[in-house]
Structure 1
Amino acid sequence: MAPIAPIPVVDEGLGNSTYLLDLGAGRALALDPQRDLRALRAEAATRGLRIVYAVETHLHTDFVSGTAELAAVEGARIISPAVGERAFDHLGLADGEDLDLGSLTLRALSTPGHSPEHLSYLLYEGDTLAGVFTGGSLMVGTAGRTDLVGPEQTVPLARAQYRSLHRLMELPDETPVWPTHGAGSFCSAGAGAERTTTIGRERRTNPLLQLEREDAFVQALMARMGSFPGYFRRLPEVNRRGPAVLASPAGLAPLSPARVRELLAAGAQVVDARPTREFAAGHLPGAISIPLRPVFALWLGWLADPQAPLVIVRGADQDPEAIAAAAAKVGFDSPAGELTGDMAAWTANGGATERTELTDAAGLARMSDATVVDVRQAAEYAAGHVPGAINLQLGDLLKTDGPLPEGPVVVMCGHSERAGGGASLLERAGLSGITILDGGPDEWAAAAGRPVATGVEQ
């Protein structure tokens, strides 16, 4: 008999896997689906499957759940932890309770830690354990972070995570482990590139599972937690209440330059999704640069104001449906629309523009008087940075306790995308003399003929 193999549908930008499980007779189960269901639906359609169950391991913080839409459109039954107090129709499972799927059975296993109500699900084929869906509990080489509910819950949930992981270690070594969070997810406390594993492999190699004492585990887990987007504190309540079902296909309404000016006068914000080079060459004053790429949704949720109308500027070759779907994933349900005609229409209609300087690594190597601001995560900065660069992470750039650096300032990351975002935020804050580095530390080292610095500079 072939082993059960759920199909992972991976969102590289959010670092998450939704699992599609064939239940037989053309039926399927989707576990931890996010709101952009296009890839999941395409996978199901290719296999001739209809999604009849939508299962959640926990109240998600990093994306709006797609279970409500699967229920409304496909007629799927929502299965969630019983203690999550969800305010919509669902079947709540408690520890040890089973869901009969026909030839398969899903058994709830209480594994709090990443969230207070977190469930893992054991999958049985008859009496044979086929694997375990671990959501935000056990991951490849790590575990889910426990500081997303609130500071006062971080340590208690870390202790709960310790007990949950050791409960999972009671399973046989050969048990496949199918986590939701993985590489690229800010819900994990550090993670490798692989997305699935086994109980035995984690028992042998997961650094957190080599720590026998609970206190040591808590300290190690907390040491792995970096910053996270502020919207992570907003979305659990959206998911608890039940997100709105987006009845019409995702898209962006056209906005004339005159209408954009009206919206800006009323407090709207502009997000420029074009590549960094195009943004630097000319953009609307005050626009936030978030280039369209897999992590667009993450940075939109992190940098944009959810209370302000959202105006998009995009390139002619960029898909408006992809932009709208990404926005919906992090709770921007109804963007005001997009500027019609790109920047050419804006300038032709008398709209003002701003430019941001762009330099390459050789140009930076020749600059001796500039303050270099590295907007990457702290761990990236510590692994290798331009000597003397200060680390102000992009998501917290304008929340620094100290004064913002004054020009000339060169903003950098690993390539240029986050650097463009950082430069746009500094310009919005009123700073001038900002330059974006087109490149990263390795390019600088090659151009300067000097090694990068490591560690944290004082």
Structure 2
Amino acid sequence: MDLLSFRTPGLGDQTYLFVHEGRGILVDPQRDIERFLAAAAERDVELRFVLETHLHNDYVSGGEQAALRTGAELVLPAAAAVAYRHTPAFHLEDIKADGLVLRPIHTPGHTPEHTSYLVLVDEEPVAVFSGGSLLVASAGRPDLLGTARARTLARLQYGSLHRLAGLPRDVALYPTHGEGSFCTATGAGRFVSTIGDEVDTNPLLAAGDVEEFADRLLAAPMPIPAFYQYMGPANTLGVPPMPPLAAPDLTVADLADQPEGTQVLDIRPRAVQARGLLPGSVGVELGDDFGSWAGWLLPYQAPIVLVAESSQDVIEAVTQLAQIGIDTVRGVIRDLDGAATATFGLLDLAAFRLRLADPTVQVLDVRMPHERDTVRLPGAVERFLPDLVTHGVPTDLDPERPVLIACGSGRRAAVAATLLARDGYQSAILTGAGIAELAATRS
């Protein structure tokens, strides 16, 4: 028996390949299935099952395509009622094959149809794939389908967690969601655990009753990325194979020939963006969470032209976008060719503090609400980064005066600076540090 895990850091998710006697079970695969199939082929593993724990809200699935490619049996919760061929998993109705038993356990809460899978080898329970139900030190959030259903789903999650907590203590726990995922209700830590460890340490299992549990789960909801609304419908109807990952080279002049609504997405490092970016572009430097931020900030499925440095991995950028169903990259510009550009400033902690003493400057805090509740920057205008797109630049900010922008590290501040540049603001960002460090040096 062996287990391989594949983490997608930017989405905070984990895919698993469970192997027993040369046969494999693939659990909650992301759309870019080549990495999973390659790992199975390297180990001469026959993929026997592909399991989905729920209709994912944070990425489009590769489950159907993995099953079609390999001939594996695709298993989904019966209540998911997807539009493509699959084996429906019913609560406690075992699926048996090759000495393995898969025991579906209906665990609603994160979504109504959510199902965990207990794996039994030689009739002994060894592992449970809990998807977005019981997580390490946390649980899957119940509010992604709307506030009207959130408390009902939270109550269901209470029962689901306790159902899983009743499994033998030495059963290994393999959740899909973990640290970095917007699908967790609280800050999940490690990705894997055991039932016994969670019974002993998971704070949500210590809630006194179902209403206290629901209160805790809903007390401080995280924002929901804008692209999440498109993931469930895509996973219900079926997801096509990955698009071509190569992006043709374009020039600045080629932008005139692009379709109406084309978005220019600058993936270069913030230090390069600051020296000059194409007017109207959105800058999201390439990193683990690039796809999530791009999907949150740009109109979903709008045509995209990337701006990249010559050495940057554009395939990684296209892959992250495709993981959330965005297949609209039309090409990449690697040379701005002397085009007119907008700029913004970069300030380290000491320089940012000095600028704060200037009475003409304005300050913008683009962190999440729960971050601001922990430490605030006095006098700052507060607007979470995506709200600059949905609600516009706050009217409190005077376009005739410089704006200093800060967040937790400089990454989101740099994105905000590119958004403000579109409206003609002159800004500078705190980079290499965040508001917590700034507050500590001012005390």
Q: TM-score range by the shorter chain?
A: over 0.9
Q: Deviations over 1:254-283 (max 9, x none)?
A: 22322222227x221111001111111111
- Whether 1:16 and 2:7 are equivalent positions in the alignment is no
Q: 1:177 aligned to 173, 180, 188, which one? A: 173
* Distance in 1, Cα, partners of 2:21 & 2:170: 24
Shift of 1:207: 1.3
Q: Is the 8 A contact 1:309 1:336 kept in 2?
A: yes
* Distance in 2, Cα, partners of 1:50 & 1:286: 49
Residues 378, 357 of structure 1: alpha-carbon distance in 2 compared, 3 angstrom cutoff? same
Residues 379, 46 of structure 1: alpha-carbon distance in 2 compared, 3 angstrom cutoff? farther
Residues 257, 173 of structure 1: alpha-carbon distance in 2 compared, 3 angstrom cutoff? same
Q: 1:263 aligned to 240, 252, 258, which one? A: 258
- Whether 1:280 and 2:274 are equivalent positions in the alignment is yes
Q: Which residue identity does 2:395 align to in structure 1?
A: P
- Whether 1:313 and 2:307 are equivalent positions in the alignment is yes
Shift of 1:400: 4.7
- Whether 1:127 and 2:127 are equivalent positions in the alignment is no
- 1:6 is paired with a residue of what secondary structure? strand
Query: More deviation in 161-170 or 385-394?
Result: 385-394
Q: Is the 8 A contact 2:301 2:328 kept in 1?
A: no
* Distance in 2, Cα, partners of 1:415 & 1:67: 35
Give the structure 1 partner of residue 25 of structure 2.
29
Q: 2:246 aligned to 242, 251, 265, which one? A: 251
User: Where in structure 1 are there 5+ consecutive unaligned residues?
Assistant: 452-458
Shift of 1:398: 3.5
User: What is the count of residue pairs matched by the alignment?
Assistant: 436
Give the structure 2 partner of residue 456 of structure 1.
none
Question: Hey, which bits of structure 1, 4+ residues long, moved more than 6 A?
Answer: none
Q: Which residue identity does 2:6 align to in structure 1?
A: V
Q: Deviations over 1:300-322 (max 9, x none)?
A: 11111114211111111211211
Q: 2:420 aligned to 413, 418, 426, which one? A: 426
- 1:433-452 aligned at under 5 Å gives the runs 433-439=426-432, 440-441=434-435, 443-444=437-438, 449-451=441-443
Percent identity (aligned): 37
Q: Which residue identity does 2:239 align to in structure 1?
A: P
Q: Kindly report the root-mean-square deviation, in angstroms, between the aligned alpha carbons of the 2 structures.
A: 1.9
- Whether 1:101 and 2:97 are equivalent positions in the alignment is yes
Q: Is the 8 A contact 1:203 1:209 kept in 2?
A: yes
- Whether 1:378 and 2:374 are equivalent positions in the alignment is no
Shift of 1:49: 2.2
Q: 2:58 aligned to 59, 62, 74, which one? A: 62
- Whether 1:194 and 2:190 are equivalent positions in the alignment is yes
- 1:36-435 aligned at under 5 Å gives the runs 36-246=32-242, 249-263=244-258, 266-339=260-333, 341-343=334-336, 345=337, 347=338, 351-367=339-355, 368=357, 369=359, 370-400=361-391, 403=395, 405-406=397-398, 407-428=401-422, 430-435=423-428
- 1:305 is paired with a residue of what secondary structure? coil
User: Where in structure 2 are there 5+ consecutive unaligned residues?
Assistant: none
Q: Which residue identity does 1:362 align to in structure 2?
A: A
TM-score by structure 1 length?
Answer: 0.90
Shift of 1:323: 1.1
Shift of 1:72: 3.1
